[in-house]
Every structure is written in C-alpha cells, then in structure tokens.
Amino acid sequence: MDLFKSFAGTFLLIFLAELGDKTQLAALAMTAGAEGRGRLVVFLAASLALVLSTLLAVFCGGLLTAVFPDPRLLKIAAGCLFLLFGALMLLGWL
C-alpha cells in the first residue's frame, strides 16, 4: 500500500504542477500547426521529452541523497531553489 501512496502522491503532484505550464503551452502550439499524424508525433515527442527530463531528475535526486542523507534537508534545499528561481523570474532575470 505504501508504494501505491507514493505513486499516487507523485502522480497527483506532477500532474497538477504541469497543468498550464510552458511545456503544455508549447505542445499546444506545436499541435495547432500539425494535422493528422503530426499530432501523434507532437504527443510522442513531448512525452519522450518529459520522460527523459524526469529520468534525469530522478537520477540527480538519487545522487543528491548522498549529499543530503536526511530527506527533509533535500526537500528544504529543493524548496529554496524553487523560491530562488521564482524570485529570479519575477525580477526578469530568467
């Protein structure tokens, strides 16, 4: 049951975070210009890109557990980076 809770929590968090983001808007724009099979190609390419970027994130997260053995520290570090990137975007530096 613990694996299901982890799966469901991760799915829900990522799904909600991805709604309306730049990636989804880019896929929408690419699909608008595509017809027929082009839509399938956009779907497959966007899906592969998201899978590979997630694979990279999971791999890096695994490596970071060596630096941050306490999961709380990793979550705090990730939250601080999230806030930093948000502030940089608000300032127009990203």
Give 87's pLDDT tier (boundaries 50, 70, 90): very high
First CA to last CA distance, the chain: 41
Dist. CA 32–CA 28, nearest whole Å: 6
Dist. CA 77–CA 74, nearest whole Å: 5
pTM above 0.75, yes or no: no
pLDDT for 32: 85
In the chain, where are the structural domains located? Answer: 2-67
| Mean pLDDT estimate for the chain | 87
Whether pLDDT at 94 is above 80:
no
Contact 18, 24 (CB under 8 A): yes
